[in-house]
């Protein structure tokens, strides 16, 4: 049985699959798959179905009042059907020629993910001077939200946009700490962003930048296995085999049973052997050209 969300029957919800965790907060950005149907029609008039859909902000990218009311009741992984009366959908005018006037519509929605971006959005609307007065805990929360946006875009393989989100997070972590404890908190946040940027630049096939951010991570934590691994990967991409081996062996000492590290060392050994064979072959060819012709026999 459909539940009345609006109090007047204008927005009703039928739960198709339960979700988990907290409900979507107001002003969040959501990732949804949806199908929109006109009343008594089997074919959808609109749909969005993707493994990694674009994050859409409530009230900005999602403008149907009834759909927003419905989304605010959903949890991650939930699937629901919403019945929207005209007042909560396209109104008396409709949206010709697709939506007739005064039409009730149904939306089937799957909530894949959401990020509470309200505080982050508000923070970046402030001036630099106003941002400097923000409490450190709030700044760290904003940086973490931006990093989570970057993670979502990374998983979606929108790498350039992911990189920009990570850099936006980094841009607000440069404030001067008032204590050693604050510096530790800032460093912990920076470490995650440096590691994210390192792997993103590796995927972008820019190993020199990946190495630079990996080394920044190691300045914060020289025994960080993931940082050592990223640096080793970057050096391997640049055919700097000795440096790659140094980073990867150090990573292996910290995590001896890590399959990724061990496989990368095997890959390094193979690349090194191939490189040596090619170098040996090139030397043989070069010396073959330099050989003197045999002396004339008398």
Cβ partners under 8 Å of residue 258, min gap 6 = 225, 229, 251, 252
Residue 298's pLDDT band (boundaries 50, 70, 90)?
A: very low
What does the pLDDT look like over 192-234, one tens digit per residue? 999 999 999 999 999 999 999 999 999 999 999 999 999 999 9
Give the mean pLDDT of 280-286.
65
Among candidate residues 131, 108, 115, the one with its CA nearest the CA of residue 37:
108
The 10 Å Cβ neighbour count of residue 156 is 17
The rounded distance, in Å, linking the Cα atoms of 175 and 178 is: 9
Give the mean pLDDT of 269-289.
71
Residues 211, 240: contact at Cβ < 8 Å? no
The rounded distance, in Å, linking the Cα atoms of 244 and 167 is: 26
The rounded distance, in Å, linking the Cα atoms of 86 and 105 is: 8
Grouping H, G, I as helix, E, B as strand and the rest as coil, residue 70 is helix
- What is the H or E stretch that residue 114 is in? strand 105-115
Which range, of 83-87, 141-145, 186-190, 268-272, averages the lowest pLDDT?
A: 268-272
The rounded distance, in Å, linking the Cα atoms of 150 and 288 is: 54
- What is the H or E stretch that residue 36 is in? strand 29-38
What does the pLDDT look like over 70-120, one tens digit per residue? 999 999 999 999 999 999 999 988 888 888 999 999 999 999 999 888 888
């Amino acid at each position: 049985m459909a539940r009345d969300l609006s109090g007047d029957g204008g927005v009703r919800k039928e739960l198709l699959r339960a979700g988990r965790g907290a409900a979507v907060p107001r002003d969040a950005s959501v990732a949804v798959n949806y199908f929109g149907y006109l009343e008594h029609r089997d074919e959808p008039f609109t749909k969005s179905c993707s493994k990694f859909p674009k994050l859409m902000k409530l009230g900005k990218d999602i403008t149907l009042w009834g759909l927003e009311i419905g989304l605010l009741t959903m949890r991650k992984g939930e699937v629901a059907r919403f019945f929207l009366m005209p007042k909560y959908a396209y109104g008396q005018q409709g949206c010709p020629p697709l939506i007739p006037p005064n039409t009730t519509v149904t939306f089937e929605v799957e909530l894949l993910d959401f990020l509470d971006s309200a505080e982050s959005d508000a923070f970046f609307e402030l001036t630099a001077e106003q941002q400097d007065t923000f409490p450190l805990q709030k700044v760290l929360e904003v940086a973490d939200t931006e990093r989570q946006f970057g993670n979502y875009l990374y998983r979606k393989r929108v790498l350039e946009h992911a990189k920009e989100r990570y850099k936006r997070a980094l841009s607000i972590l440069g404030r001067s700490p008032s204590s050693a404890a604050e510096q530790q908190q800032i460093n912990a946040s920076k470490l995650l962003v440096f590691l994210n940027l390192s792997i993103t630049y590796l995927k972008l096939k820019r190993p020199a930048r990946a190495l630079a951010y990996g080394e920044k991570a190691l300045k914060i934590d020289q025994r960080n296995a993931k940082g050592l691994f990223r640096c080793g990967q970057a050096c391997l991409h640049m055919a700097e085999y000795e440096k790659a081996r140094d980073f990867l062996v150090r990573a292996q000492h910290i995590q001896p049973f890590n399959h990724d590290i061990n496989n990368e060392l095997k890959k390094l050994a193979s690349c090194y052997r191939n490189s040596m064979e090619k170098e040996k072959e090139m030397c043989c060819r070069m010396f073959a050209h330099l050989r003197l012709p045999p002396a004339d026999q008398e």
